[in-house]
Structure 1
């Protein structure tokens, strides 16, 4: 039985990832920032026993350490870390240069970098040090984004933070390999979750589905399946990889 910490697991991709690990018999720490009712719903939906909730704002380095330490103690060791939590793209976080004030530009950039990049980096440091101290192998999977490669014109901080998260993962894949810790990333395209359900209706939904030659958007379960594979012993040799999960809606060269 493996201990798994999934950040941002109150709903969406994080919830699907938590469920996928629990279905394989693993114990899961469901992290959330503020959506306690959703997090409780996630935990209640998980098969098996021993799952816990852990809260905290990943933008706060002290909270990030507490999240890692709490999960480590409650699960008798975190063997898999999934860095999923992020400040996502939305109308509220849009910050195209021609459309926002300099003050809002700075505020949104700082929040996205603090959570999407530095929060993931800080939790990873703390979890990885526990793995090293225990002398046990481990897996770290980062949830990046297609936007890191194709650009996010209305949300440049999001695209930049996800690109940096990919690069961070590749750096750690090299430095942590001698300790038996494999680090990978997935880069999903648009994925259907509760948060973006309104964007999949009407003309905007047709546009999003039309981005892929499959004529649809991705699902959270598809992302979760990839994460579970990358966290498995069979995927050790994939360490350092960034796996595109976008239905051929964006092809890297």
Structure 2
């Protein structure tokens, strides 16, 4: 039985991933930032026993250390890390260069980089060093974004952070392969999650669905299914990959 830490697992892609990993037989640490009630709901949906909750702001380096330590204490070890927690583009985080004052630009850009790039890098370091000390194989999957490739004019820090996360994952794939640790990324397009319901139901909904030739947006469960594959022992040869999950809404060349 393997043990997995899934960050940002209180809802959306993180919740779907935690559920899917538990259905595979993994023991899961459900991480949440602030919404403990939502995280407890995720915990109640998991299959099997001996799962744990861990909470805190991962952008704080000491908190990240505590979360890894509490996960190892609760599960016994960490074999799988899914770096899913992050700040998504939205009204509260947008910072268009032609519309945003400098103070807001500084605050929103810095915060997004801290949460979406630096935090997963620190967690990767902590979990990788634990695996190396145990001389154990493991796997890390980063949840990136289509926005890393197509650009995010309303939230450029988001596009920058996700592009950095993809590149960081490939660097770690090279660095950690000699230790038997695989690192890969997924790059979802627009996903139908709880926080996107209002947008999908509103005036922008049809345009969002029309971005894909399938005429719909993705689901959290589809992203989770890809993460389940990438975290399986059989997927070690996919280390270094960035898997597009966007319904052909953006094709890289």
Match of 2:30 in 1: 30
Q: Distance in 1 between matches of 2:26 and 2:83?
A: 17
CA RMSD of aligned residues (A): 0.6
Q: What's the secondary structure of 2:64's corresponding residue?
A: helix
Shift of 1:40: 0.5
- 5+ residue gaps, structure 2: none
Aligned ranges for residues 1-253 of structure 1 at < 5 Å? 1-253=1-253
- Superposed CA offset, 1:9-46 (max 9, x none): 00000000000000111110000110110000000111
- CA contact under 8 A between 1:9 and 1:32: conserved in structure 2? yes
Tell me by how many angstroms 1:61 deviates: 0.6
> By how many angstroms is 1:59 displaced?
1.1
TM-score (norm: length of structure 2): 0.99
Checking the alignment, whether the CA contact within 8 Å between 1:169 and 1:185 is kept in structure 2 is yes
Is contact 1:10-1:35 (8 Å) kept?
yes
CA offset digits 1:160-196 (Å, max 9, x no partner): 0000000000000000000000000000000000011
Counting matched residue pairs gives 253
In the TM superposition, residue 233 of structure 1 has moved relative to its aligned partner by: 1.0
1:37-95 deviations in whole A, cap 9, x for unaligned?
A: 00000001111101100011011011011111111221111000000000111111010
The residue matched to 2:203 in structure 1 has which SS? helix
CA distance in 1, matches of 2:43, 2:196: 22
* Residue pair 1:144, 1:188 contacting (<8 A) in 2 also: yes
| Shift, 1:203, TM fit | 2.8
Q: How far has the Cα of 1:145 moved from its partner?
A: 0.1
**1:202, 1:89 → 2: CA distance?**
17
CA contact (8 A) 1:192 1:218 kept: yes
* CA deviation after TM superposition for structure 1 residue 202, in Å: 3.6
Q: Write out the 4+ residue segments of structure 1 that deviate beyond 6 Å after TM superposition.
A: none
Between the aligned partners of 1:121 and 1:66, the Cα distance in structure 2 is 15
Gaps of 5+ in 1: none
CA distance in 2, matches of 1:178, 1:133: 13
CA separation in 1, counterparts of 2:51 and 2:187? 27
* Structure 1 residue 157 displacement after superposition: 0.2
